[in-house]
Amino acid sequence: MSFVKITELVHRGETIKYSMWKILKRIFLFSFLELFIKQQSEFYVDHPEKVDGNGKLISYSLSHHFRRHKRDLNSAERRVFYKLNYKGQEFTLNLTTNDNLLSNEYVLKKHNRSLTEKRSQTSGNIACHLIGTVMDGNEQGTAAISTCEGLRGLLNLPQGPLLIEPVRGHTPNATHPRHPHVIYWSPAWSAIRRRRSTDQVEQERERWEQDPHREWERPRRISPRSISKERWVETMVVGDSKLVDYHGSGNVESYIFTIMNMVAGIFHDASIGNAIHIVLVRLILLHGEEKGLKIIHHADTTLNSFCTWQKKLNPQSDTHPAHHDVAILITRKNICAGMNQPCETLGLSHLSGMCQPHRSCNINEDSGLPVAFTIAHELGHSFGIHHDGQGNDCELVGRHPFIMSRQLHYDSSPLTWSSCSKEYITRFLDRGWGFCLDDRPSKRDLSSQLAAPGVRYTPQHQCQLQYGPNATFCSEVENVCQILWCSVNGSCRSKLDSPIDGTRCGPEKVREVYCTLRKTFCITMHLTVCLCGSVVYLW
């Protein structure tokens, strides 16, 4: 497609008068798009719209962040709708927040040689990372879309999977309020071949499971079938310095959220046959070379180095807030299996390594949004899933795009897990090999420095922060968790704010933390529970 046609697509149906400087501006704006198109065989440019539930236009401004209120949003307020067109077909997106994307104690760390900057934050950051459905008439697919700045993510349509992202550098104005988006499919996706036999890997796993001196807790009693049980994959993601430089230090965190939201959406597909949630507990961004971590072209060497490095960072206790079940490296380094030079390898992991602290890790070469497929593919291997057609009868039929195919081709079918993948992962879980995934990420040991603010700041301290060092807490109030009352010069005053999350309302110490509906009251059971925000703290 020529540059002229690209311009026509972006401004389809509009009458535009170009001055010379506008033409030069357009050339600069779409230079990246020409390069992009050379790498893609299926693409289209459209101007999505934000609409209501009936399809009526609301705005051309697409970015959307769900607001966080003290009271729960109703179902209508928790949804946002978009309309877009792909090759003459109209699609409607029905999206809501992916509340499981981040744990309550998610932490971002930035490593710069000897210096480490740490920032803790709540799940409010996921308010623009959404999951939901996409409709084409009477047919329905799934979607995992980030709406932080335009629409970016995966549309898994009945007609086949598509990726969408905004055209870079476009600034909407009164003349052109719409934001052009590229909708495409990336067919050049391949996975490396596993060299080790199934029997060898499974025999080693069995020996590890039976070792009484191995790390982590013993697996719980194996249930007859695991399909109906929810699993929570607590994930640490590491972005290397090349990734940070490429996407920019101010954008890379949101980019990784988008990728992991897509990965979570892939694991939510019903074809996997199991309820699996991908939850981000820690993100480490490297701003230079990291001591003890070797990232080179040789994928095997890089994987071994990364697995050793991440194991040292991982707290052994599964109840520790910083503990992860699997570690994911995303790098801009051109990796290659078996040799120290660039090639077509996109990812590498250990087969059946999930819940083994030294093997539950994978490396992935960043390729833009399609890296989400690589990560999902490598995580599949961690769950004991083999390539389709490798020792099973799930070889590609035509070019159906199974997630665990050696090569992923564009096809007029949705991207799904094959029946073999479903059998592999169910067998893995039925054996009890996914024992570390049984705990919800919100069940945390708050004795660490990552505890909620109310654990560290007593009601009196909160009063002093508001009214000065001589203020004290009015303890005689009935509902401690509803409004913070402080004694100032002998009288109780309040700014009508609730105490911060985790504020003490009972005589005991904090023991656990649970996600719950956002209420503001204190419950007494066998423990005294204070609900002062989006989480419940047990005392």
On whether the CB atoms of residues 48 and 151 are closer than 8 A, the answer is yes
Annotated binding site for Zn(2+): 377, 381, 387
On whether the CB atoms of residues 142 and 96 are closer than 8 A, the answer is no
Among residues 94, 100, 535, the alpha carbon closest in space to that of 276 is found at 100
DSSP letter string, 366-400: --STTHHHHHHHHHHHHTTPPPTTSSSS---STT-
User: How many beta carbons lie within 10 A of that of residue 440, not counting itself?
Assistant: 18
- CB-based contacts of 237: which residues, under 8 Å, 6+ apart? 256, 260, 280, 282, 283, 284, 327, 328, 329, 330
- CB-based contacts of 256: which residues, under 8 Å, 6+ apart? 237, 239, 283, 330
Cβ-in-10-Å burial (0-12, 13-18, 19+) of 75 comes to exposed
On whether the CB atoms of residues 305 and 345 are closer than 8 A, the answer is no
What's the token pair of residue 109? 């760390």
On whether the CB atoms of residues 179 and 173 are closer than 8 A, the answer is no
Cβ-in-10-Å burial (0-12, 13-18, 19+) of 298 comes to buried
Q: Are strands 152-157 and 160-166 parallel, antiparallel or unpaired?
A: antiparallel
CA distance 230 to 246: 36
Cβ-in-10-Å burial (0-12, 13-18, 19+) of 217 comes to middle
* The amino acid at 302: T
Give how far Cα 142 sits from Cα of 47, 132, 157, 350, Å. 20, 6, 7, 29
User: How many beta carbons lie within 10 A of that of residue 368, not counting itself?
Assistant: 15
* Neighbouring-strand partners of residue 402: 416
End-to-end CA distance of the chain: 64
Quote the DSSP letter at residue 270: G
- CB-based contacts of 70: which residues, under 8 Å, 6+ apart? 498, 518, 520, 533
| C-alpha count within 13 angstroms, C-beta hemisphere, residue 76 | 3
Q: Are strands 139-146 and 152-157 parallel, antiparallel or unpaired?
A: antiparallel
Among residues 121, 150, 134, 39, the alpha carbon closest in space to that of 95 is found at 134
Question: Any catalytic annotation for residue 234?
Answer: no
Question: Out of 378, 395, 476, 512, which one is annotated catalytic?
Answer: 378
Annotated binding site: 377, 381, 387
Element (H, E) at 487: strand 486-488
Q: Which positions are catalytic?
A: 378
